[in-house]
Amino acid sequence: MKNYLAISLIFALFLFSCSTENKEVVVYTSVDQVFSEPVLKDFEKETGIKVKAVYDTEETKSTGVLNRLIAEKNNPQCDVFWSGDPVRSVVLKNKGITQAYQSPAANDINKVYKDAQHHWTGFSARARVLIYNKSILPDSLVPKSIFDLSKKVYQNKFAIANPLFGTTTFNIAALFNVLGDEKAKQFLTDLKANGLVIATSNGDVKKRVVQGETACGLTDTDDAHEALAEGADIGIVFLDQEGIGSLIMPNTVCLIKNAPNSEKGKKLIDYLLSKQTEAKLAISCAQMPLHKGVQVPENVPSLDNIVPMHIDYDKTAQKLEEIQEYLKNWVEN
């Protein structure tokens, strides 16, 4: 009898363990927790699937969880990677860390924002923009091109985030692809000579411009619109609309190869790629939907009205890795 009870107890614990495991999905994300966490909480409420989320810090944006995923390649602990840009997902694909999944929720999203082999899919885009303090910089002197920032009139008056992390790395890698290595390096040399400020993050760029520590700076549309929502007297410019265009940065989501709970991971991916999620991100952080027909607030621009920078995300990801040592030396010297 005792043996029977012991076996029954072990079996019950086993079933409970399986049930608990099957109701959990693990997601690593480089998207700001203040914006990503509410979406993940809504997914929990609507599906009953518990979400265990690991977030990047502001200063190591996009690199912390990326390096963790690379380190865990042979023993995956994560099911889904939600990135704030495509290049990190491409890096993971190239290292054999992701697996293909073609979500039906993304059928009408432009193929430009999808991996051809379905290893990642884009949604809810941001763009790189220039913000400027209206009390310091008159409209007549506002830059129209990123290349204007090397001019003497902007000497010691502009900031960018540390290019070793986050979307600034993406932005510079894209410039290398568009301009070629020689011209891109010369441009960065000219920026350094013109006294640019290297801030710790995009949020730090926003703070410095809002507080008048610098006249203008490069950041992302979500940080720019957050500043406006806080009542800051700033302007926003989509640069190079008559030239190379503005860098468009969709969120991307991908399924991790040999994930512990891949079926639950697919459900989360479907949810993130839905029009419902894009509508939420448009409201919370002014991100631009990739689906057509999503209702958005008036302050959210349409991608149809922005001249985009034409880049190959795969080549940009490759370039991002190639220039890491160069960027490290550029920042430090």
For the ranges 12-26, 151-165, 187-201, 222-236, which has the lowest average pLDDT? Answer: 12-26
Q: How many Å apart are CA 254 and CA 265, to the nearest integer?
A: 9
pLDDT average, residue stretch 296-320: 93
What are the tens digits of pLDDT across the range 259-302? 999 999 999 999 999 999 999 999 999 999 999 999 999 989 99
Q: How many Å apart are CA 158 and CA 149, to the nearest integer?
A: 8
What are the tens digits of pLDDT across the range 157-168? 999 999 998 899
Chain centroid offset of residue 105 CA: 20
Cβ neighbours of residue 71 closer than 8 Å, sequence gap 6 or more: none
Least Cα distance to 188 among 216, 142, 147, 158 occurs for 147
Q: Are 73 and 96 in contact (CB under 8 A)?
A: yes
For residue 17, the model assigns a pLDDT of 44
Residue with the bigger pLDDT between 97 and 64: it is: 97
Average pLDDT, rounded, for the chain: 91
Q: Which two tokens stand for residue 202?
A: 């995009």
Angle at 180 between CA 178 and CA 183, to 5 degrees: 105
Per-residue buried b or exposed e for 55-85, using 16+ beta carbons within 10 Å of the residue's own CB:
bbebebbbbbbbeebeeeeeebebbbbbbbb
Structural domains in the chain, CATH included, are 2-125+250-301 (3.40.190.10), 126-247+322-332 (3.40.190.10)
Confidence of residue 63 (pLDDT cuts 50, 70, 90): low
For residue 5, the model assigns a pLDDT of 45
For the ranges 55-59, 202-206, 229-233, which has the lowest average pLDDT? Answer: 55-59
What are the tens digits of pLDDT across the range 171-190? 999 999 999 999 999 999 99
Q: What is the DSSP string of 106-149?
A: GTTS-GGGB-TTSS-EEEEEEEEEEEEETTTS-GGG--SSGGGG
For residue 166, the model assigns a pLDDT of 82
Place of tokens 């520590």: 213
User: Model pTM greater than 0.75?
Assistant: yes
Q: How many Å apart are CA 131 and CA 195, to the nearest integer?
A: 18
pLDDT average, residue stretch 238-261: 97
Question: With 70 as the cut, is the pLDDT of residue 40 above it?
Answer: yes
Angle at 72 between CA 40 and CA 331, to 5 degrees: 85
